Amino acid sequence: MSGYRARDWAVQPPALTPAYKTTRLRAPSAPLVRMSEGCVPESGPVFGHGDLGPLDHDLLQNYASDGAPIGERILLHGRVMDQDARPVPGTLIEIWQANAGGRYRHRNDDYLAPLDPNFGGCGRTLSDDDGHYRFHTLRPGPYPWPNSENSWRPAHIHVSVMGSGLPQRLITQLYFEGDPLVALCPIVQAIPDKGAIDRLVARLDLEAATPFDRLAYRFDIVLRGSRATVFENKPEGM
Amino acid sequence: MTKTPLPETASQTAGPYVHIGLASEAAGLERSLSVLGACIAGPDVPGERMVIEGQILDGAGVPVTDAMFELWQGDATGKLAGSEGCASGFHGWGRTAADFETGRWRFETIKPGPIGNQAPHLALWIVARGINIGLHTRVYFDDAAEANAVDPVLLSLPEDRRASLVAQKSGDRSYRFDVHLQGNFETVFFDL
């Protein structure tokens, strides 16, 4: 138990989801042990703008050396909130993704799509006072993976959110509205709750698009909130 | 307070390429963003320097070669980073990637102090391909048997599972802690 609301396991994927093959040997077989009352660390590392470079949030530029990367240019933006819809400011948000062809710039990825010399695929930023964040990037491509003989990951961007203590540490993936591969992906479908899956789908946000430049997608993030009034006078993220 | 809380965002696996975003030097990027989490305790932070290292293994005893570890801890007096009285230059947080062939991992840090009635410990958070939601565990030290014997978290566990959270002294300043995701020696993982 902690100052945070209990995790809602109805919206979280269980450890063992056999259709996602790798979980079979990596899912702990014993149930998680509830941490004793008062033993959960509720503060964590604090980051400032000095920890980040000026282009860290701009994946269209932060790796470009010879022009812009190839692909659909997008603004990815949203808000980090807690379960009481309060903004969580100052949170480190880190993303990583494949390029437009579906290939990661990683020494272990040998998919036949080409690397893009102007795209690294990593970025990070801090949420502002109102919990907002924004990245400039491109829409990644889908790619095959060896889960079964014809498995394809939907286009997705990995998102890591530091939060303000261990219970708020989150890594997830965002998907794109209208992608038919979302319904077929065993990693996505590891989540038992349809609504929770739907909330991982970033929505086209035409109003935030930049005419003649880039489309926009919106992805909001909800971190676990505090119980009762424990943190009433303490801003989240501090 | 009685309002229905918003549903929390669901977790997804970090996948095999987590390094691009969180440990880019391991991904092999020709250049990368500045590294976060490389220094847990700066050189001037008081405390006993130590190394914690081990291996991460799956249910077949095979090394997990794409895992990423995060460590959270208190300083030598048990203060968490950002809290009053915590040593300056102490970040209390680090990240490292498991080795791509052996699944071995390693942190250089200082030995933490007790936090209240809790024995000295490190908090670990582990993500990898095939792990749908990050795993929380704790590392205690075998040379703190007295403190361990009254630690509320260890005491909340069945006796035969406590040893899975105790690192073994393996050198002057080093401890070994293997993570077993499944099996007879399965590490205890927590729901915080």
- Nearest to residue A42, comparing CAs of B155, B74, B182? B74
Q: How far is B48 from chain A (nearest CA, A)?
A: 21
Over range A165-190, report the average pLDDT. 97
Residue of B nearest to A124 (CA): B21
Q: CB distance B10–A13 less than 8 Å?
A: yes
% chain A with pLDDT above 90: 84
Q: What is the structure's pLDDT at A230?
A: 44
Handedness of CA A15, A168, A11, B2 (dihedral sign): positive
Question: What are the pLDDT digits (tens) for A134-154?
Answer: 999 999 999 999 999 999 999
Spatial separation of the C-alpha atoms in residues A233 and A223, rounded to whole Å: 18
Residue of A nearest to B3 (CA): A84
Question: What are the pLDDT digits (tens) for A15-54?
Answer: 999 999 999 999 999 999 999 878 987 777 889 889 999 9
Go through the domains of chain B in sequence order and give each one's CATH number.
33-180 (2.60.130.10)
Spatial separation of the C-alpha atoms in residues B162 and B158, rounded to whole Å: 7
Q: What is the structure's pLDDT at B27?
A: 87
Task: Give, as one character, the DSSP assignment of residue B24.
Answer: H
Q: What is the structure's pLDDT at A228?
A: 59
Question: What are the pLDDT digits (tens) for B19-34?
Answer: 999 988 888 887 778 8
Chain B residue numbers touching A173 (CB-CB < 8 A): 12-13, 15
Residue B44 CB burial class (10 angstroms; 0-12, 13-18, ≥19)? exposed
Question: What are the pLDDT digits (tens) for A38-94?
Answer: 898 777 788 988 999 999 999 999 999 999 999 999 999 999 999 999 999 999 999
